[in-house]
Each structure stands twice: as structure tokens, then as C-alpha cells.
Structure 1
Amino acid sequence: MDVSARMWERLVAAGAGRRFRAGDVLLHQGDAPSHVFLLVSGRVKVLLHLPEGTLLLAVRGPGEVLGVMGVVSGSERSATVVAMDSCETRALSAERFLSFVRSSEEEESVLLRRAMTRIREGEAWRAETAALPARGRVVRALLRLAVPVPGAPLEVGLSQSEIGSAVGLSRSVVAGELARLREAGIVTTAVGKVVIDDPARLRALAASGHGDV
């Protein structure tokens, strides 16, 4: 969560309700940072559009404030955010959001720490993509891209091509690595998603650095 639980409740109460269907674009890369969305339910994916293609940067779930980086920095949107499921949000103007946060030094501190954490996460992801073998990249990507949903299995609601775009691998390479994990009983695959059946073993593989099953 980008803000404290108490501030989240205040922001949700003040925001205007907006619903999005799967596939809808919430935020467009390059747009002015005029507002933020509080993600109340559903999942979204964060995409970076480059001349060479589109990169999947992250998957976010309930409790996230979307569009914070642009609002805090005053720069244009750095990525596009697309709904993966039916999403319920609350919209607040940039000015009103910042006013709420600046009303408490503690909240400002929380927000800045969260922003720095996201920057470090991005740097770690890029380092892993450059240094790890394919199986290590896929294992860690599954853990990064899975969004826990209470009462439901842990899953990554993305295609194999999308997972590949997150770690710089082709769909065929991702499919091969997922097949090894499936044979080991760690994951189950279906069209457009990967269900993590054994999160503990997957985390152990990620910690090994190579993802050896």
C-alpha cells in the first residue's frame, strides 16, 4: 500500500467511483498526471511502450494508488496501466491527493519511502534480467507478478508471452521452463494464467538464484 491504512480510508471516502472492465486502459503513458486511482478491487498490469516493443513492468492489486510517480514528480505518465480483471477504483485529482498526503508529515514519509522502494524493485528486476539464466528469471517473475487474492489460489493472470516480455525471454523459452515447473508439481498452467500450487518450493527455487527444480 502506498499510504497508511488510515489515509487509505480517507482517500477512498473522498474519491469518485470508477469501474473498469478487463482490457480497459486506466492510465496512458505520456499523459499529464492529472489524477490518481485508488485500486479497491481487481488487478492491473503496468506496461512500458518502447519503439522496440512493449515491456511488462509489474502487476498491482487492491490497496495500490495508481499514478503516484507522475503526480509526485510532476512529470508525464511513465507507463500505461491496463485492467486485467473487472476493477473498482476511486479517482482523486492530483491536487486533492497531494493535499491529503501533505496534511501529515508521516504520510509524506510513507509515500516517499514507497516510491523509493518501487525504484529499487525496478532496478533489481533489470539486474535479474541481465544476470540470471532463463529458469531463474521465470521463477522470480512468477513470484513478482502473482497478486494474492483471499480465498483463491495464488496465480499469475498473464499469458506466457506477457511473462516473457517481463523478463526478456521468448514465449517458447517461458513455455519450456513452465513445463519443468509443472512436471515438478509446483505450478499448473492454463490459457492466460499460471497457478502456483506450491509457493514455498517456488520461493526456495527463487532464493537459489537459478531455479533448479
Structure 2
Amino acid sequence: VLIKHLVGLLHPDRGTVRVDGEDLSQLNEAGLDGLRRKMGILFQANALFDSLNVFDNVAFPLRERTRMSEPEIREAVNKALAVVGLTHAALRFPGELSGGMQKRVGFARAAILQPKILLYDDPTAGLDPLTTASVNEVIFTGKHQLGATSLVITPDVASAFRAGDKLALMHEGRIVEFGPPEEFRRSEHPAVKAFLNNWLRRQSQRPHKS
């Protein structure tokens, strides 16, 4: 819901949504389209095109939104795939990739237009710990190599503390706590304490390998 508001697919009943200094309620379709061009989205289910190989999936935004020549597109896509370590998989199809590799392809496609803002919709959902670590590295790549503002929607406390400069907890439709990780850990808000305690309890109940 938050991401849909940020890209202008939903409109608030009250208040305003401002992105990059612009009030979305004041923008027409052309204005919204211009704002959306500043964003890249990594979807929860990756939203890759099954009928296109990795190269063509990543090239898709360039072919749809730019007038780049095919040699220019080839160079840009190869650079994007190199950043996520998938140059070798350019001709493979999504169904032939692991979950973590699909996430990295999704990131390469989201970042190919050099967006100012990257939105991640629960990027570690359903992934094993090793793949989750790989996805967290992808988030760091967007943050440090692209210099993009990143908004990560996740219930994964460990990933949030590892990747976030600032954390916000949404409870019953409201943000009840917002601040850097060290302040978040010290929060006295009941919802924050309950959320962190529940996560710690689940972690302690997970089976440990000997």
C-alpha cells in the first residue's frame, strides 16, 4: 500500500504524499510518469518476463523508455549484469535461475535507468538465510554504487537493521517509530518492543545445526 501511494497508484483519503519534493496530488499523468521515471522497483515476486532471457529482461526498460541504440543497450545491460555478478547468465531464462539470482536480475532491471529512488517490496520473502544475505548485498549495491535513496518494505528485522540507515515501524496503519537503528533498539513504544521481542523469540525457537 505504501509503495502504491509513492508511485501514485493510490491516493490518500487525507494528508499529502510528497516524493522528491513534489505533491503527488498536484501532478497530472505526465507529471506522474516523469516522477515514476526517477524510481526503480524490485517486486516481491520479481515480476520477470518468463518468455525473455535475462539480457532482454534487463534491457526491457531501455527499449521501452529510451532511444538508445542496440549497441548502447548491450553495453548498459552488460555493465548492469556485471554489478550483480550475472554476466554468465545473460542468455538464461528466469525459470532456470535460483530465487537469489532472480532477485539480482530484478535489481539489475530496476536500476538500469539509474533511478534516484529504489523501492523494494519485501525482497527477502520466502528466501533461505544464504539467499537473504545475497539479497541484502544487492540492497547495499543500490545504496552505495548508485547512490539511490532506498526504501525497503520488510518484516525481516535482521535485514532491516543490517541495511537501514533509518527504520520505521508501521502499526495499525500508522508509523509509530522512526529513527536510526540504535534509537529503534532503545524504543519504549509498546508496539516496537512487542515486534522486536516476537522476532527474538522466533529466532530462539529456530532449530540450530550442530
- Give the TM-score band, short-chain normalised: under 0.3
Query: Greater helix share, 1 or 2?
Result: 2
Scaled by the length of structure 1, the TM-score of the pair is 0.24
Scaled by the length of structure 2, the TM-score of the pair is 0.24
* Structure with larger RCO (C-alpha < 8 A, sep 6+): 1
